[in-house]
């Protein structure tokens, strides 16, 4: 029997949110007594495409020689990327080890981030990554290019970090009676991560009676944990705006919700609730599929 503990997997890329990703990963690893692994991925597809563009219109006599130079240049770029990735992992590991509580392992993988996290899914308890990588970190109305695909592909809790670390004291469950929402309630009740926290159970529904009925059983379930303070609230209005406003008004440190429950086509036509929450929320989101 395999008794190896499931790990907290933190994706680091050297972007502005990297330290915050590390800090939230440490918080989880300490609270649930899980090992922590830092992951950095290297994608070389763009260099290959550039090589083709550069050598396309070279004269016959010089083509082979210049192609060799291009290949050598791309190899040098690849080596530099590998070294840069190792430096990012080393800096993240050093930052974490200063706490004296968690000593992470590190891994660098070639290929796509999505492929890497799917490959590591069976050994992962929670995935932690930043809302924006280096490409999008100055674009407040956009999220990381790979983020949606990762969320849709992985069937593990995913913590999306969007701000500097604050030790969570108040959490919010965006509750709508769905399978993912009930999964969130079960997780909060059973996991040591949420012991001693205040949990705001919030349902946004145009029919208040329906909302109250939805919250009743979930509230009892949360109260059965006895080590969690439960506040049940019904709200009306546009769901994402109501939740984000409540989050800010009550200083919610972490929001837990289901993710991408509809098809990709429907989300494209009507707009994704998950995407709106990722863009507008001011504190980290823990997403469940």
Average pLDDT on 138-147 reads 70
Contact 255, 247 (CB under 8 A): yes
144 or 169, higher pLDDT: 169
Whether domain 7-44+81-161 has CATH 3.40.50.620: yes
Q: Higher pLDDT residue, 173 or 133?
A: 173
d(CA 251, CA 240): 16
Mean pLDDT lowest among 68-82, 99-113, 170-184? 68-82
Residue 223 is predicted with a pLDDT of 94
Give the pLDDT band of residue 268 (cuts 50, 70, 90): very low
Cα–Cα separations (whole angstroms), residue 154 to 36, 40, 145: 18, 17, 16
What local confidence, expressed as pLDDT, does residue 55 receive?
46
Q: What pLDDT band is residue 267 in, cutting at 50, 70 and 90?
A: very low
Asked whether this chain's domains 7-44+81-161 and 170-288 adopt the same fold, the reply is yes
Q: Give the chain's mean pLDDT.
A: 86
Q: In this predicted structure, what is the pLDDT of residue 58?
A: 52
- Residue 4: count other Cβ atoms within 10 Å of its Cβ: 7
Assess whether pLDDT exceeds 80 at residue 272.
Answer: no
Q: How confident is the model at residue 115 (pLDDT cuts 50, 70, 90)?
A: very high
Per-residue pLDDT, 270: 36
Looking at residue 20, what is its pLDDT? 96
**Span 157-175, mean pLDDT?**
96
CATH 2.40.50.1040 for domain 170-288, yes or no, is no
Mean pLDDT lowest for which of 29-33, 77-81, 180-184, 204-208? Answer: 77-81
pTM to 2 decimals?
0.85
Domain ranges in the chain?
Answer: 7-44+81-161, 170-288
Give the residue-averaged pLDDT of 195-209.
94
Q: How much of the chain, in percent, has pLDDT values that exceed 90?
A: 63
On whether the CB atoms of residues 32 and 159 are closer than 8 A, the answer is no
Range in 24-38, 99-113, 256-270 the model is least confident about: 256-270
Interatomic CA distance for residues 264 and 262, integer angstroms: 7
275: pLDDT strictly greater than 70:
yes
Exposure b/e, 138-161, CB count within 10 A at least 16 = b: eeeeebbebbbebbeebebbbbbb
| Confidence band of 139 (pLDDT split at 50, 70, 90) | low
pLDDT > 70? residue 106: yes
């Amino acid at each position: 029997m395999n008794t190896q503990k499931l790990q907290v997997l933190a994706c680091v890329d050297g972007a502005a949110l990297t330290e915050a990703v590390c800090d939230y990963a440490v918080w989880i690893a300490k609270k649930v007594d899980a090992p922590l692994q830092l992951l950095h991925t290297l994608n070389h597809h763009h260099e290959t495409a550039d090589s083709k563009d550069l050598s396309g219109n070279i004269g016959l006599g010089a083509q082979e020689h210049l192609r060799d130079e291009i290949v050598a240049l791309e190899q040098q770029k690849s080596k530099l990327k590998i070294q840069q990735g190792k430096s990012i992992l080393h800096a993240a590991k050093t930052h974490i080890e200063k706490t004296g509580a968690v000593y992470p392992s590190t891994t660098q993988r070639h290929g796509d981030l999505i492929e890497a996290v799917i490959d590591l899914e069976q050994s992962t308890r929670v995935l932690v990554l930043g809302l924006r990588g280096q490409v999008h970190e100055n674009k407040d109305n956009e999220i990381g290019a790979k983020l949606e695909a990762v969320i849709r592909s992985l069937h593990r809790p995913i913590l999306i970090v969007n701000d500097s670390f604050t030790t969570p004291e108040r959490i919010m469950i965006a509750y709508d009676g769905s399978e993912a929402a009930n999964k969130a309630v079960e997780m909060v009740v059973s996991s040591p991560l949420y012991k001693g926290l205040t949990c705001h159970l919030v349902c946004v529904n145009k029919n208040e009676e329906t909302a109250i009925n939805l919250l009743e059983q979930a509230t009892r379930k949360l109260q059965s944990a006895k080590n969690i303070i439960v506040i049940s609230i019904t709200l009306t209005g546009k769901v994402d705006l109501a939740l984000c406003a409540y989050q800010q008004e009550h200083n919610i440190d972490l929001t837990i919700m289901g993710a991408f429950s509809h098809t990709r086509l429907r989300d494209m036509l009507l707009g994704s609730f998950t995407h709106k929450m990722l863009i507008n929320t001011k504190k980290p989101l823990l997403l469940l599929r």
